[in-house]
Amino acid sequence: MLLKRKKSWPGLYAGGTLFAPTEDMWLLHLAARPGMSRKDVVRAARRPQDQIATSFRRRGYGETINEQAVLVAIARHLASASWVNDWTWKGSEAPAGVTVVTTAQIRYLSQWLNPTGHCRASKISTTYSYGAWIEQGMIPDAHWLRWLYGDSPPEGVYVLPPIMERFRTESHLEGIIAAAKIDRATYFQWKRDENKWRILQALVNSYPSARAAEEVNLRADTRKHLKDYAKAASLEERCQRAGWGAKNDKSGKAKTDRKARTGYFNELKDAEKRCGREAKGALLSWLALDGRGPYGLYKDHLFVPSEGMRRFRQQALKGRERPATGMDLLMRHPGFMELFADWTGLPSYRGKRRKVDAVVRKNSVVGKDQATPGLAKLRIRQAGVGSKGGRPSTNDDVVAFAAEQRSQRPDIRAKEILKLFRQQRPEHLIFKSRNPTSALRAAILQRRDKRAGN
């Protein structure tokens, strides 16, 4: 299957030392001869069939090159280089010291650096997924943008594997009660009953021993549900549901694999061995969080990719197969990062293309050791937490109110907290946000991450 390539545009990078023409400009350059007019050059140049077949389908895109489109592209992107017109229409050579990207390299880059095509193949939105990753800081800088397109992660940062994310899901209350086949109402009923809650805690702490449930007078079904919950909450069962260890015995029946926890501890050791103790600490801190996310860079030493990021990276790796000749040398050129940032830019908004390097500088903390344009310093990012009502400082009082309510009722929901808070502060700015519940959760996460950072 042929991978569709993006429509490339010409560009000059690193002070004009790297020139990336379009494929059409290369065809015109190769067809041009001294004394030929522009129309004669256009007649002599013909697009090959493989270029037509692998390009995105556009009306009128055939063998004939559009002269006006080439002139507009040169005037819009290459107006500062007067020699480009002679290179394109007269076949002259580029000035000394200028590296020209070859046709094969352009085709390779247009397959690899193709955010729209990768998003379509991954079944995600270019604007609301890919664009949000960059603008909201989930992809905090150009280092991680290169990782998204198939490069290795920066040194000292551990990329969370999918199995650890599944382990966290299975370790949360929703995962445990689903595995135990009980509902939330039953769990919170146990929590309100002091006797049953004490028994449940004893069962969880002493699993696989069930002596705590046998010593008291309980209904048979209640005793069974308490044991099921304790089994589902055990480390072996959570590891097994995440994907470590054998799930069935030889007869096909489900069994508990006592060695399943080995995979979990090996993953922690691997994080510490490859990325240091800070990465292991960040991983343990992330596993202890409630809910989904946050995605992106967490505490400088852990990167948590979303499912969409993983699918996008798989598509980008497919586009990186069979690199063109000379790509290693091109990727070491001082202007390659500028070209990379230009080609991986965000979709046009109100007629203007937004480049990745500009967005990176806006959303990243740039240190004094910053030397390369478009490469920002790694930072902590609170990602995927929804909208925030008003300024962050205006949410301090509602966070304090929520903490007070949860100290009295640990099972109270955010929606109920807001209902009580509205009775006291109906004009609070949090109620003017699009989603007050998400705004409250965002404020609580901000407070928690701020305390963790201190």
Tell me the chain's radius of gyration from C-alpha atoms: 29
- Per the domain annotation, does 383 fall within a domain? no
Of the CA atoms within 13 Å of residue 109, those in its CB half-sphere come to: 28
Both 44 and 98 in a single domain? yes
74 and 140 share a domain? yes
Examine the domain organization and report whether 194 and 323 are in the same domain.
no
Tell me if 53 is assigned to some domain. yes
One domain for residues 29 and 51: yes
Look up the domain containing 403 and give its range: 392-453
| Domain count of the fold of the chain | 3
Say which amino acid occupies 43: R
Are both 92 and 199 inside the same structural domain? Answer: no
Asked, for residue 19, whether it belongs to a domain, the answer is yes
Instruction: Give the pLDDT confidence of 25-81 residue by residue, as tens digits.
Output: 999 999 999 889 989 998 999 888 777 777 665 656 778 888 888 888 888 888 888
Q: Please indicate, yes or no, if residue 133 is contained in any of the structural domains.
A: yes
> Residue 374 is encoded by which pair of tokens?
């478009």
CB distance 169 to 175 below 8 Å: yes
Q: State whether 42 and 120 are in the same domain.
A: yes
Q: Are 283 and 292 in contact (CB under 8 A)?
A: no
Q: Are residues 116 and 181 in the same domain?
A: no
pTM over 0.85: no
Q: Buried b / exposed e across 189-228, counting CB within 10 Å, b at 16+?
A: ebeeeeebeebbebbbeebeebebbeeeebeeeebebbbb
Same domain, 143 and 21: yes
Same domain, 403 and 353: no
The answer to the question of residue 268 being in a domain is yes
Whether 32 and 143 share a structural domain: yes
Q: Digits of tens for pLDDT over the chain (454 positions)?
A: 345 555 667 889 988 899 999 888 999 999 999 889 989 998 999 888 777 777 665 656 778 888 888 888 888 888 888 899 999 999 999 999 999 999 899 989 988 988 888 998 999 988 788 888 888 888 888 889 999 999 999 888 999 999 999 999 999 988 999 999 998 899 999 999 888 888 888 888 877 765 655 556 778 888 889 889 989 999 889 999 998 876 655 555 555 666 788 889 999 999 999 999 999 999 999 998 877 778 899 988 999 999 999 999 999 998 888 888 889 999 999 999 888 888 887 756 555 555 555 444 444 332 223 233 333 332 223 333 333 444 444 577 888 888 888 888 878 888 888 888 888 888 888 887 878 888 888 888 777 766 655 4
